């Protein structure tokens, strides 16, 4: 029987960076949260360890080849084990779940999030691609089913935290901050020979490989710009980006009277995760505190979109609308994959994305099926273009 004083959480992608940090939050707040579902794609060993500790009702392993090993390990603990993408979209509809934390990487987060919303589950959103790909459909469904979408990205959480108490006061604009990644200040000539090892060394945040590469190329910030449009009902001209190397101000809101609110803190993803899971409460924590004396200077720079063209491509996709952001996202996922496989250079990634945006058919008012087909077609085209470059 459910404890009415606790929130029951499904964590999609529990073995990744966000998922493991979410479990840290839950571990420190066992009187407030219960883990109801854990899912992973390939990391069966860690998934089994997590399930043994938190004893969820259900576990899903995406890779069906790993099902027998996970089931054998968890059967003695009386934990239900399922596998595959269909199981993933089914378990989020479980009646016992209160909040679904979507910490899956990339496009894979879209369908489970849609199913969770249709089942009336509140969403703690750490998968920005869900709104990038199909923001119109996802936000409309959330409104229809009276579901809250609570942002987990540090930048969007910062905006969200700046809004309580403002009532109907309109936002003039928001300012998303970017660390600049490992290549801040470098020009194109300096990036011609960069390696994936260099690109994976983020100066401030510890994240998974895909989002770390996106941060290095500024695509992560571009995706956040598109996500912000749907979360906060803004247009492209109301969303600015500034490079803030210290990553202390996580983002800002400017109101019609010119006042600016900023949310600040040390770069620690457990803070926005905890805020989303506990909302509207703020739970006490023992996380390190920010001290102004340790940061006598906070600096800001204009992003270099001539060198880091992905940010400009994201704004282009946002202004174009329709399925263009879906094309951008799918092409980027293949570009990152090929870069990590040493089949594309760092500077070839935006070239691939731009070519796909120019060639994949544009649809002004897409349906969900259109988005699914667009994603498939874009991936095929991106792989074909890459293969031709290799030859």
Summarised one tens digit per residue, pLDDT across range 272-311 is 999 999 999 999 999 999 999 999 999 999 999 999 999 9
- Read off the pLDDT band of 150 (50, 70, 90): very high
Mean pLDDT of 232-258: 97
Q: How far apart are CA 316 and CA 102, in angstroms?
A: 27
Region 239-258: what's the mean pLDDT?
97
Residue 39 has what DSSP assignment? E
> Is the per-residue pLDDT at 16 higher than 70?
yes
User: Please, which residues have CB within 8 angstroms of residue 65's CB and are 6 or more apart in sequence?
Assistant: none
Distance CA 158, CA 300 (A): 17
For the record, the structure tokens of 221 come out as 């910030």
Q: What is the mean pLDDT of residues 8-14?
A: 97
Whether residue 391 is predicted with pLDDT greater than 80 in this model: the reply is no
Q: What digits encode the pLDDT tens for the residues 321-369?
A: 999 999 999 999 999 999 999 999 999 999 999 999 999 999 999 999 9
Question: Where on the phi/psi map is residue 195: left (φ > 0), alpha (ψ -120 to 50), or beta?
Answer: beta
Q: What is the pLDDT of residue 63?
A: 95
Q: What pLDDT does residue 211 have? A: 84
Structural domains in the chain plus CATH codes: 7-151 (3.40.50.720), 167-266+289-309 (no CATH), 321-386 (1.10.1740.10)
pTM score over 0.85: yes
pLDDT value, residue 200: 87
How far is residue 45's CA from residue 103's CA, in Å, rounded to a whole number? Answer: 18
Task: Tell the residue number behind the tokens 């968890």, with chain if given.
Answer: 74
Check residue 203 and give its pLDDT.
Answer: 67
Largest CA distance in the chain: 62
pLDDT at 205 over 70: no
Confidence of residue 197 (pLDDT cuts 50, 70, 90): confident
Tell me what the pLDDT averaged over the chain comes to: 94
The answer on pLDDT for 204 being more than 80 is no
The reported pLDDT for the residue numbered 317 is: 98
Q: Which residues, at least 6 apart from 230, have a Cβ–Cβ distance to it below 8 Å?
A: 131, 135, 136, 138, 139
Give the three-state DSSP class for 1. coil
| Residue given tokens 């500077």 in the structure block | 347
């Amino acid at each position: 029987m459910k404890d009415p004083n606790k929130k029951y959480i499904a964590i999609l992608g529990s073995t990744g960076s966000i998922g493991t940090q979410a479990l840290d939050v839950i571990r420190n707040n066992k009187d407030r949260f219960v883990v109801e579902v854990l899912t992973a794609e390939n990391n069966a060993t860690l998934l089994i360890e997590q399930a043994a500790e938190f004893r969820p009702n259900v576990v899903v392993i995406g890779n069906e080849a790993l099902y027998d090993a996970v089931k054998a390990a968890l059967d003695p603990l009386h934990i239900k084990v399922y596998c595959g993408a269909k199981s993933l979209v089914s378990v989020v509809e479980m009646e016992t779940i209160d909040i679904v934390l979507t910490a899956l990487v990339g496009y894979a987060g879209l369908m489970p999030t849609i199913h969770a919303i249709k089942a009336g589950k509140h969403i703690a959103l750490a998968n920005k691609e869900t709104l990038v790909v199909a923001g119109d459909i996802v936000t409309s469904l959330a409104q229809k089913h009276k579901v809250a979408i609570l942002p987990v990205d540090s930048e969007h959480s910062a905006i969200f935290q700046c809004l309580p108490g403002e009532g109907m006061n309109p936002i003039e604009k928001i300012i998303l901050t970017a660390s600049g990644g490992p290549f801040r200040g470098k020009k194109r000539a300096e990036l011609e020979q960069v390696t994936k090892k260099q690109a994976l060394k983020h100066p401030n945040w510890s994240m998974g490989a895909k989002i770390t590469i996106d941060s290095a190329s500024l695509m992560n910030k571009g995706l956040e710009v598109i996500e912000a449009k749907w979360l906060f009902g803004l247009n492209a001209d109301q969303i600015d980006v500034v490079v803030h190397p210290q990553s202390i101000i996580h983002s800002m809101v400017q109101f019609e009277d010119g006042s600016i609110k900023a949310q600040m803190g040390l770069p620690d993803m457990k803070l926005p995760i905890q805020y989303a899971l506990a909302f509207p409460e703020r739970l006490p924590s023992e996380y390190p505190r920010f001290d102004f004396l340790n940061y006598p200077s906070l600096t800001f720079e204009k992003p270099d979109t001539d060198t880091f063209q992905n940010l400009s491509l994201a704004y282009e996709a946002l202004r174009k609308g329709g399925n263009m952001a879906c094309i951008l996202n799918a092409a980027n996922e293949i570009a990152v994959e090929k870069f990590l496989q040493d089949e594309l250079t760092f500077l070839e990634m935006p070239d691939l994305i731009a070519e796909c945006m120019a060639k994949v058919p544009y649809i002004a008012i897409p349906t969900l099926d259109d988005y699914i087909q667009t994603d498939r077609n874009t991936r095929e085209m991106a792989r074909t273009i890459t293969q031709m470059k290799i030859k």
